[in-house]
Amino acid sequence: EVQLVQSGAEVKKPGESLKISCKVSGYYFSNYWIAWVRQMPGRGLEWMGINYPSNSETRYSPSFQGHVTFSVDKSISTAYLQWNSLKASDTATYYCARQYVSESYPDYWGQGTLVTVSS
């Protein structure tokens, strides 16, 4: 069974750093891209970008380029989304999802990680 299990909710202050995780199982991690999607409170879905575990190739949406970093640890089949300096506007639920090729659609999704940034 394909599963993407994300780390738990986080509460942080502006300016702090954060790394959330997405651990996959049920398929070969390196063969599929990982997409990241943001959903701000009460809002729609926003595409952040994708990451390919096999060679760490990364593509960021222009709206997120320079503010977040995608990474992976193939040894534990886990993908990460990281911020070096959070802003209040980063408050959102973040989803990871699997997709077969870089220009495909996400099929399986994680349950989401709620990140709250507040002073």
Partner 1 sequence: DIVLTQSPGTLSLSPGERATLSCRASQSVSSSYLAWYQQTSGQAPRLLIYGASRRATGIPDRFSGSGSGTDFTLTINRLEPEDFAVYYCLLYGYSPTFGQGTKLEIK
Nearer to partner 1, 34 or 35 (CB): 35
Q: In this structure, are residues 48 and 33 in contact, taking their beta carbons and an 8 Å threshold?
A: no
Contact pick of 25, 30, 84, 104 for partner 1 (by CB under 8 A): 104
Question: What character string, x for contact with partner 1 (CB under 8 A) and - otherwise, covers 41-70?
Answer: ---xxxx-------------x---------
Distance (Å, whole) CA 6 – CA 24? 9
CB of 5 to partner 1, least distance (A): 11
Beta bridge partners of 93: 39, 114
Could you give phi then psi for residue 52, rounded to 5 degrees? -110, 110
CB of 42 to partner 1, least distance (A): 11
Nearer to partner 1, 50 or 86 (CB): 50
- DSSP letter string, 23-87: EEESS-GGGSEEEEEEE-TT--EEEEEEEETTTTEEEE-TTTTTT-EEEEEGGGTEEEEEESS--
Token look-up 């943001």 returns 38
116 touches partner 1 (CB under 8 A): no
Nearer to partner 1, 18 or 37 (CB): 37
Residues that bind partner 1 (CB under 8 A): 35, 37, 44-47, 61, 95, 97, 99, 102-107, 109-112
